[in-house]
Structure 1
Amino acid sequence: MHQDTVVGIIGGQGWMGRSLGLSWLEQGLLPPERLVSSSRSGGDAYRDWPDVRCVEDNRELAERADVIVLSVRPQDLAGVELDAGGKLVISLLAMASCQAVASRVGSHRVVRAMPNAAAEIRRGYFPWYASPQVSDGDRRLVQALLESCGTARALPSERDLDYLTALSGAGPAYPALLAQSLLEHARQAGIADEIAREAVLETLVGGSLLLAREGVDPREMVERLIAYDGTTAEGLRAMIDAGLGQAIHRGLEAAHKRARETR
């Protein structure tokens, strides 16, 4: 990042804007005097960084910043008033295409990124797509800014980003649904609530970390466990026969359809 680059976050007090801003500051990626945050509702996310400039006017932010991060709800895009003047704009909005963002903010140097909630603990996944007007230097900057909160991955097409909005953009939603079902069943079996919750969360978190560390294909892991022909195999077979895979596919298809409804 150029030593004089100023980054502005519209929605900098919200959960995603705050996660990114604080990560840049804590990692020394950006000094506080080169961060500008705007928020209509105010907030004290940067109370420990008094040199961060907090404003209420997005137009003031656009004048001060070299790079503008849009971290607002998709339905709020129509109410965003600013002229980016050809500056690099990083949009974190679902259901808002590069063209829609460009038309609204006055710049075709637009990057779309889809974060998820794990960014708050620096384990987020940020797939992103850059419009053709985004330079190689811009791309390097975007990668550095986004991977400060986890893993960032440049995508070859905007269509890919629409799909990953439905998949990785869900954050903890799908694991939470699985955890809910496991927890309900454990409670019905008479397991004390504290123990049931601990068992479910440790199983899901530990299993996910093991999958990531082993680097094996999930299908291979499932087949390996079924081949053991023990209690886990019985559970897996019953879930597969009940249509768990098809239910997940239907859910992703529904989410993907909604993500394609770009404005």
Structure 2
Amino acid sequence: MRDRIGFIGSGMLGSAILRAWIDSGTVAPEALIVANRSGALPDLPQARAITVTTDPASLAARCDTIVLCVPPAAAPALGLRAPDALILSVMAAATLDDLTRLTGAARVIRAMSSPAAAHGMAYSPFVAAPAATRSDLARAQRLLGACGQSDQLADEALLDHFTAMTGPVPGFVAAFAEAMVAHAVRVGTPPEIADRAIRQLFLSAGHMLAGDAPTAAEHVQGMIDYAGTTAAGLESLRRSTLHQDVSEALTAAAEQARRMRPA
């Protein structure tokens, strides 16, 4: 990508995305202009080749593609006008209409990612406004794909649910791990061993789920069909309110995302 890419924001998520781009060779550091409040260079490899500014307007004047990675409440204060740019937002809650209102741009793409991007392991779905071109969509897919996996969605409302499901790494997965650690401690396992064992369990499970052909549901059914010790526990979970409880928790998080829309 030879033209300049502007990146506004440099918190945990912003740093993770920038690292993914640079580590993968998707974007050269010298092609980046980063705007943040401090004017400090990101803590990244080859950071000295990145241009940094505290003025979003200056960035907008020099970039054909602008990535917004700030808290939704901070977006209006940017005073960003970039009607001719491609706007790619990874802000929670800000809709396509919000992005056009905030920037004056018609070619806007709304995405969701996570700090797992630093390891190339994020899931980054996106939706695009009608004015976005094929070239814009390809660029978004390339930039988000450098962070892990990405899909284009047809329904913008789904992004609030992905904000809840895949944005908070490790989030809900950590909550389930916490419950398993608590059980292990309750039955007498030393806390440090319980923590180490469950961390390793989730690491291995993640690799298996990511690489194996069966879906999560097929993995569960396969263990039940095997009729071993795990089957008894999984059948107990199926009789419980687990699915309903998880759905209610994710719905609550998605509703909170909708309430965070920029003014």
TM-score bracket, shorter-length normalisation:
over 0.9
Query: Identity percentage over the alignment?
Result: 32
Whole-angstrom distance in 1 between the partners of 2:44 and 2:79: 24
Which residue of structure 2 lines up, in the alignment, with residue 21 of structure 1? 18
Letter in 1 for 2:5: V
Q: 1:186 to 1:64 in 2, by over 3 A?
A: same
Whole-angstrom distance in 2 between the partners of 1:14 and 1:167: 21
Q: 1:234 to 1:43 in 2, by over 3 A?
A: farther
Which residue of structure 2 lines up, in the alignment, with residue 175 of structure 1? 173
Q: Is the contact made by 2:19 and 2:118 (CA closer than 8 Å) also made in structure 1?
A: no
Superposed displacement of residue 42, structure 1:
4.0
Superposed displacement of residue 14, structure 1:
1.3
Superposed displacement of residue 46, structure 1:
4.3
Q: Is the contact made by 1:70 and 1:89 (CA closer than 8 Å) also made in structure 2?
A: yes
Superposed displacement of residue 15, structure 1:
1.5
User: Are residue 76 (structure 1) and residue 74 (structure 2) matched?
Assistant: yes
Gaps of 5+ in 2: none
Which residue of structure 2 lines up, in the alignment, with residue 114 of structure 1? 112
Secondary structure of 1:85's aligned partner: coil
Q: Is the contact made by 2:5 and 2:33 (CA closer than 8 Å) also made in structure 1?
A: yes
Superposed displacement of residue 210, structure 1:
1.2
- Normalised by the size of structure 2, how large is the TM-score? 0.92
Whole-angstrom distance in 1 between the partners of 2:225 and 2:30: 59
- Normalised by the size of structure 1, how large is the TM-score? 0.92
Secondary structure of 1:37's aligned partner: strand
* Structure 1: 4+ residue segments shifted above 4 A: none
1:161-172 equivalence runs, <5 A: 161-172=159-170
Superposed displacement of residue 185, structure 1:
1.1
Equivalent pairs, count: 260
Deviates more, 1:238-247 or 1:178-187: 238-247
Secondary structure of 1:253's aligned partner: helix
Q: Is the contact made by 2:7 and 2:35 (CA closer than 8 Å) also made in structure 1?
A: yes
Letter in 2 for 1:26: D
Letter in 2 for 1:242: S
Query: How large is the Cα RMSD of the aligned pairs?
Result: 1.7
Q: Is the contact made by 1:117 and 1:172 (CA closer than 8 Å) also made in structure 2?
A: no
Whole-angstrom distance in 1 between the partners of 2:113 and 2:213: 23
Which residue of structure 2 lines up, in the alignment, with residue 8 of structure 1? 6
Letter in 2 for 1:207: A
1:1-263 equivalence runs, <5 A: 1=1, 3=2, 5-11=3-9, 13-44=10-41, 45-46=43-44, 48-261=46-259, 262-263=261-262
Gaps of 5+ in 1: none
